[in-house]
Structure 1
Amino acid sequence: MRVLKGALAAVVSLVVVLAPAHAVEEDGYQLWLRYRPLANAGQAQQAAKAIVYPDKATPTIQAAIDELRRGLQGYTGKAPATGTQVSAGAIVLAKAGQLPQGFAADALADLGREGYLLKSATVQGKRVTVIAANEDIGLLYGAFGLLRALGTGKQLAALDERSTPKLQLRVLNHWDNLDRTVERGYSGQSIWNWWELPAIRERQYVDYARANASLGINGTVLNNVNSKAEILTAPWIAKVAALADVLRPYGIRVYLSARWSTPLELNETKTADPLAPEVAAWWRAKADEIYRAIPDFGGFLVKANSEGQPGPQDYHRTHADGANMLAAALAPHKGIVMWRAFVYAAEKPDDRAKQAYDEFKPLDGKFAPNVLVQVKNGAIDFQPREPFHPLFGAMPGTPLMMEFQITKEYLGFAMHMAYLGPLFEEVLKADTMQRPGGLTVAQVLEGEDHGPGEHGQRPTGMAGVANIGSSRTWSGSHFDQANWYAYGRFAWDPRGSARAFADEWAMQTFSRDRQAVTRIVDMMMRSREAVVDYMTPLGLHHLMDTGHHHGPGPWVDNLGRPDWNPTYYHKADKGGIGFDRTATGSNALAQYAPDVARRWADPRTTPEELLLWFHHLPWDYAMPSGRTLWAELVARYDRGVAEAEGLRMRWQQLKPAIDERRFDEVAQRLDQQVSEAQWWRDASVAYFQSVSGLPLPPGTRAPARTLEQYKAIKFPYAAGHH
């Protein structure tokens, strides 16, 4: 504790000289597309005097031109001219067949449909900047790439960048309900104003499309995975078609979550059995109806036989039976099925972490070519930290797509600073060890664990549960915008860097002052680990209170099934703490590759951050630090609180560099975070002390309240709880 206090004192004592605050306060609506004046605005203006496209602009090309004009006017103070003739200082947009002289005919060969080239070049004796791509959408992504380059300090004269997405499907999953509530949403109402659609199309939809296109996100599932049958009726299809029209120029396809029992609930079939001819015929007709209204409709996302949702197992059929029936209905239209692997059976399990693997691994190779199995990053449920899901690398015959949660259901909602870039990177870099030389989760997503398949290139993808709502900040708080940003950048490049993406975001969102950016990024990179420490240290998980998932509840043991209770997961008793997933326990480790299982089977070679995920250990187990497990656990809780206090102090140092409104709004949330970090620490320590019967380690502060007082805290109307 003396070391921690000393570190905090050092933070306070820092003398920071930062750029003056912005004169105009900001509310966060512009996200990372603020386009504030550059320090070298005059130089940039000379290099971007005009925007040239040699042909008639399509809606997507026009969106690219409009964004370039908007961005360059913001950066330089002057809107560039537009035209079709090359001039000095022009930005030239060119597709294959339109490349200026001096470019090789195959210069775009490896960029695919969505990739782009940014290059400073001499064309017709004039110095220009070229944005080149094979398709319209590549030019739009290239336009955003150029603006991002300028916004992060790059010079147009030095540009030489090639970029192509590593995954085909880069999708947001909105858990938005038809009444505009958002399940696990902490950013206000849904941005989809279903009541007013299709007649009224709000400007925010265009701004949503711009923000997503700037990251390369190319799909959006509009409604909650806990879907309602009505979304597939004609009036709602018309509403969806209106949104599709707005999003289309930005390369974004719309998808819908489909409720498995829809035809039965609408009284249009007598069953929902996927092998019943009438059910297959209904879905074929429904797909035809949707595609008549939305020719580029993406397809269906399905949550089946999980958390009470209906599914093919209700009729003694498999997930493959269900997914393939829907896939057959969509295949003539080139649509896809994203079938979620988040399942747990109605019967009481020996370990919920095993169930997705147990149900899906035997089905490997049995899914239709246009089906992707959508797998959460970990086997439980978007916890502050989980080991990578054992299905990754274990289903080489089936395309798997990642499902991350951008909204922070278990990480303090939109109130706690918790930059998720390190979480995403940690999972994507994890080595599944499913082949000699290693096989990372990122490589699995990119398809390196299998060939192209009998029907050609197999689909690849990533999904993120959106944190977007009607809040003026879009994401409930300013720093939560960074999680949307990082998700999009990782979906484009799963091998990217969380720190690099944080740096990009901070420069475009807050300041280009390098000292300020460095301090902001340092805060971001520390924040998620702080949350892990004060909520679920050393591999603990699922310790939140009931239903709303806000605040600690490690004592909860009275829910309807064992795996809804935190006590099921930590298994703390007089003898120790942790979930034994080795051969002496649930043997969930057997689902991992042998080299992974062997390493994690021994607590001495298990990473400390996963220790209690895989092992039930005595309270006096000797930790590498020299402390007992009990003392180490308390120290981690204390470290988390100290880090939360450190985040708050670091933000105070940044006051001169941030406009007043955003500074104050972030400061208030950091105050709340410190308070709730202390609450998590005190309540958890009080409970585990009551179970272990051990005294607090010497020098440790006692919890501020009694355990019974912590147990009495309730939140019947918490945000996002439905």
Structure 2
Amino acid sequence: MIVATWCLVSPAAAEDGYDLWLRYSPLEGEARTALDRFDPVIVRPAGAHSDTVDIAVAELERGLSSLMERPLHAGGTGAIALECNAAVEGARDGYDIAGSDTGITIRSGSDTGCLYAAFSLLRYLSLGNDPHAVDLASSPAMPLRMLDHWDNPDGSVERGYAGRSIFDWWHLPEVLDRRIIDYARANASIGINGVVVNNVNASALFLTPRYLPKLKRLADAWRPYGIRLYISARFSAPRDIGGLATADPLDPAVRAWWRARAEAIYAAIPDFGGFLVKANSEGQPGPQDYGRTHADGANMLAAALGERGTVIWRAFVYSAEDETDRAKQAYEEFAPLDGQFADNVVLQVKNGPIDFQPREPFHPLFGAMPNTRLMLEAQVTREYLGQGSGIAYLAPMWTEVLGAQTGRGGTVAQVIAHGGMAGVANTGSARNWSGTDFDQANWYALGRLAWDPALVSDEIAREWAAQTFSRDPAFPNRVVPMMQRSRQAVVDYMTPLGLAHQMATGHHYGPGPWVCDLARPEWNPCYYSRADAEGIGFDRTASGSDALAQYAPAIAEGWEDPAAMDEDYLLWFHHLPWDFETRSGRPLWDELVHRYDRGVAEVETMARTWRSLRPYVDPERYRAVAETLNIQQREAKWWRDASLAYWQSINHLPLPAGTTPPEHDLEYYRALAFPEAPGQ
């Protein structure tokens, strides 16, 4: 039960966001009284102590002392007893926490599970709950719960909007920045158990002997937090750094080279997680260079790792030779390979069939490969969602995907239960880790949903907001609805009604629906809108690319009729005339304008809501969020105006009566350039 009585106090000293959701700000009112009366004291488990248990105990001491604003003392009467070799239901790292009049018992089948339980108990108490009444039981739903870093050896970050890389390869292994430990602590608090440290557009440096001590230092630091280290492996490494003439996965010398590399890694890092591989996509090398399949390439690496590790093979592929429909290509390449991958191979599939768009239908591979382990790849860094400005809370997007019925094997969450979930990180050198304070919520939500995909996005937002900013009910009651609506606002002012990939070239910052002349067809926004004088949208029905047929019949049927389907995907699956009547009764053109305007209005509402929350937030973070919302207001209007100006140049239709025209003409928007845009 949440204790509802709080004292509203003015925010104390300014904060910079470094503490994330682990601030453990002092409790007030009845919640403080209840914890003081409980008078906690921590009882370590009997027997040998591990580093992990020591960290769990230290976290409990740190958190409880901060919540009560006093140190714990040995004479406390409320015992918090840890039992880290207990039989609990579910996975070994699961736990149960039970409270009584005299104390709290934490039980898990592993030391790591006790660490997870410690964070869970502190989250429960931080939200103002009664320590005597705690009754929590939880177990991870997926074996792999990961962050993928697109970080490069030189410290740059591809599609990163939070500063430089947190990995200082130049000074490792001698120097380990404290930030690396704080990063592990934050990940452990939300159940993340694996980190890929380098870009999927991989440098072979990470497979050289010189990098092994650097990787070992990271792995040793993270091990007590239950985190295994993974690296993105460049498929052509045997040729690039191994002195071989080929990287053919069926060549005996190539297979021997990878076995030797794996043995060297495991000799230094016994719990090395494995390899993440991007192959034959966007110019990256892969097995198809030698006439082999993705399964041939993945299985060769899987044999090198053996049962010790996992090969995570990305399904993000497309080729310049296929001009039919980029949305179909991953399915066509991978679905025929179902059942051909080794047991320690996991196919990592993006949430949608294109590329992390503001809204996409779920990827058709989910449910189509029942004999292959799949995991979901989501993007925490907001490459196509405003990058480092404004608010776009992504848990509603991810719960939308996880809960989607595939028509073949249950929901997406059920399909990936034996694989996992990975998020492309936006964790950088910025003091607040993520560039904007609200982007921390996406990191938090990724971990919480990978642990339990049944969680509800607004409840995740509520617990994050209370821990990160203020637990006064007035704050989450206003900020959570704003967060919940924020992603839809971005969809509306960027790509309404199922439009996709209308971003500018290269940096993907801002609108570029007029880009039609790039070398590869699927790089052009025009390719996706198919806008002409008669209509707009990509026909993916049987009369078009027939991508709809890649979904189970029961699912495809729901998107087949434009008059009856969910209009959020209308132009994703259909090319429709500008005067097509939408469910609102408005013609398609009018409805499109309405959606753009709705998105702009919602961002303005978000800014007003944030201004009303000033009493609950410290001055530094209040100002930082207000400033980035100002940017988002400007960008929303820019997207709306530039898009409408372009569509009008195509359809020659007047704006609906009462609509504000674009501020500038189309040529003004086409001429804008942003050479300094980050993350390229």
- Do they fold alike, i.e. is TM over 0.5? yes
List aligned pairs for 1:84-233, cutoff 5 A.
88-96=77-85, 108-121=87-100, 127-233=102-208
Q: How far apart, CA to CA, are the structure 1 residues paired with 2:227 and 2:451?
A: 14
Aligned 8 A contact 2:320 2:520 in 1: no
Q: How far apart, CA to CA, are the structure 2 residues paired with 1:522 and 1:558?
A: 41
* Corresponding residue to 2:670 among 695, 711, 717: 711
1:632 maps to what in 2? Answer: 591
User: Are 2:426 and 1:474 equivalent residues in the alignment?
Assistant: no
1:389 maps to what in 2? Answer: 363
Name the SS of the counterpart of 1:480 in structure 2: helix
Q: TM-score, normalised by structure 2?
A: 0.97
User: Are 2:4 and 1:25 equivalent residues in the alignment?
Assistant: no
* Corresponding residue to 1:495 among 419, 439, 454: 454
1:530 maps to what in 2? Answer: 489
List aligned pairs for 1:606-621, cutoff 5 A.
606-621=565-580
Q: How far apart, CA to CA, are the structure 2 residues paired with 1:618 and 1:241?
A: 59
Q: Deviations over 1:653-688 (max 9, x none)?
A: 111111111111000000110000000000000000
What amino acid does structure 2 have at the position aligned with 1:706? D
Aligned 8 A contact 1:419 1:483 in 2: yes
Structure 2: segments with no counterpart, 5+ residues: 1-5
Deviates further, 38-47 or 509-518: 38-47
What amino acid does structure 1 have at the position aligned with 2:13? V
1:47 maps to what in 2? Answer: 38
Q: Deviations over 1:337-371 (max 9, x none)?
A: 00000000231320000000000000000000000
2:642 maps to what in 1? Answer: 683
List aligned pairs for 1:369-388, cutoff 5 A.
369-388=343-362
Name the SS of the counterpart of 2:438 in structure 1: coil
Aligned 8 A contact 1:24 1:659 in 2: yes
1:440 maps to what in 2? Answer: 411
1:556 maps to what in 2? Answer: 515
Aligned 8 A contact 1:111 1:133 in 2: no
**Offset of residue 460 of structure 1:** 1.8
Name the SS of the counterpart of 2:100 in structure 1: strand
Q: How far apart, CA to CA, are the structure 2 residues paired with 1:48 and 1:691?
A: 70
List aligned pairs for 1:558-707, cutoff 5 A.
558-707=517-666
What amino acid does structure 1 have at the position aligned with 2:331? Y
Name the SS of the counterpart of 1:479 in structure 2: helix
1:410 maps to what in 2? Answer: 384
List aligned pairs for 1:9-24, cutoff 5 A.
19-24=8-13
Give aligned-pair identity as a percent.
58
**Offset of residue 421 of structure 1:** 0.6
Q: How far apart, CA to CA, are the structure 1 residues paired with 2:599 and 2:40?
A: 51
Q: TM-score, normalised by structure 1?
A: 0.92
* Corresponding residue to 1:264 among 216, 233, 239: 239
Aligned 8 A contact 2:375 2:422 in 1: yes
Figure out how many residues of one structure are paired with residues of the other and give that number.
Answer: 672
Q: Deviations over 1:203-224 (max 9, x none)?
A: 1111001100000000000000
**Offset of residue 47 of structure 1:** 2.1
What amino acid does structure 1 have at the position aligned with 2:99? S
**Offset of residue 267 of structure 1:** 4.2
1:65 maps to what in 2? Answer: 57
Aligned 8 A contact 1:283 1:329 in 2: yes
Aligned 8 A contact 2:302 2:310 in 1: yes
Q: Deviations over 1:64-93 (max 9, x none)?
A: 01111110111011222469xxx7311111
Q: Deviations over 1:34-63 (max 9, x none)?
A: 011111324313324311113332100001
Q: How far apart, CA to CA, are the structure 2 residues paired with 1:82 and 1:322?
A: 58
**Offset of residue 270 of structure 1:** 1.5
Aligned 8 A contact 1:41 1:77 in 2: no
List aligned pairs for 1:244-259, cutoff 5 A.
244-259=219-234
2:311 maps to what in 1? Answer: 337
List aligned pairs for 1:237-386, cutoff 5 A.
237-332=212-307, 334-386=308-360
Aligned 8 A contact 2:390 2:625 in 1: no
**Offset of residue 234 of structure 1:** 1.0
Deviates further, 74-83 or 637-646: 74-83
What amino acid does structure 1 have at the position aligned with 2:58? D
1:104 maps to what in 2? Answer: none
What amino acid does structure 2 have at the position aligned with 1:24? A
**Offset of residue 263 of structure 1:** 1.1
Q: How far apart, CA to CA, are the structure 2 residues paired with 1:65 and 1:689?
A: 63
Name the SS of the counterpart of 1:697 in structure 2: coil
Q: How far apart, CA to CA, are the structure 2 residues paired with 1:303 and 1:693?
A: 43
What amino acid does structure 2 have at the position aligned with 1:432? T
User: Are 2:380 and 1:401 equivalent residues in the alignment?
Assistant: no
Deviates further, 37-46 or 166-175: 37-46
Structure 1: segments with no counterpart, 5+ residues: 1-16, 98-107, 447-458
Name the SS of the counterpart of 1:506 in structure 2: helix
Q: How far apart, CA to CA, are the structure 1 residues paired with 2:149 and 2:679?
A: 13
Aligned 8 A contact 2:348 2:377 in 1: yes
Q: How far apart, CA to CA, are the structure 2 residues paired with 1:546 and 1:160?
A: 52
Q: Deviations over 1:92-136 (max 9, x none)?
A: 111235xxxxxxxxxx341331101110136xxxx1111110110
Q: How far apart, CA to CA, are the structure 1 residues paired with 2:256 and 2:320?
A: 29
Q: How far apart, CA to CA, are the structure 2 residues paired with 1:49 and 1:488?
A: 28
**Offset of residue 517 of structure 1:** 1.1
Do the aligned partners of residues 82 and 58 (structure 1) sit closer, same or farther apart at CA in structure 2, a change above 3 Å counting? farther
Q: Deviations over 1:450-473 (max 9, x none)?
A: xxxxxxxxx421110001000001
2:67 maps to what in 1? Answer: 75
Q: Deviations over 1:579-605 (max 9, x none)?
A: 000000000000000011122111012
Q: How far apart, CA to CA, are the structure 2 residues paired with 1:282 and 1:192?
A: 27
What amino acid does structure 2 have at the position aligned with 1:110? E
Aligned 8 A contact 1:229 1:266 in 2: yes
Name the SS of the counterpart of 1:90 in structure 2: strand
Q: How far apart, CA to CA, are the structure 2 residues paired with 1:485 and 1:652?
A: 24
2:3 maps to what in 1? Answer: none
Runs of 4+, deviation exceeding 4 Å: none
Aligned 8 A contact 2:100 2:133 in 1: no
Q: How far apart, CA to CA, are the structure 2 residues paired with 1:656 and 1:478?
A: 17
Do the aligned partners of residues 337 and 544 (structure 1) sit closer, same or farther apart at CA in structure 2, a change above 3 Å counting? same
Q: Deviations over 1:391-417 (max 9, x none)?
A: 000100001000000000000012120
Q: How far apart, CA to CA, are the structure 1 residues paired with 2:432 and 2:24?
A: 17
Aligned 8 A contact 1:348 1:561 in 2: no
What amino acid does structure 1 have at the position aligned with 2:579? D
How much is the aligned-residue C-alpha RMSD, in angstroms? 1.3
Aligned 8 A contact 1:18 1:656 in 2: no
Aligned 8 A contact 1:21 1:660 in 2: no
**Offset of residue 20 of structure 1:** 3.8
Aligned 8 A contact 2:242 2:257 in 1: no
Q: How far apart, CA to CA, are the structure 2 residues paired with 1:398 and 1:348?
A: 25
Q: How far apart, CA to CA, are the structure 2 residues paired with 1:603 and 1:227?
A: 42
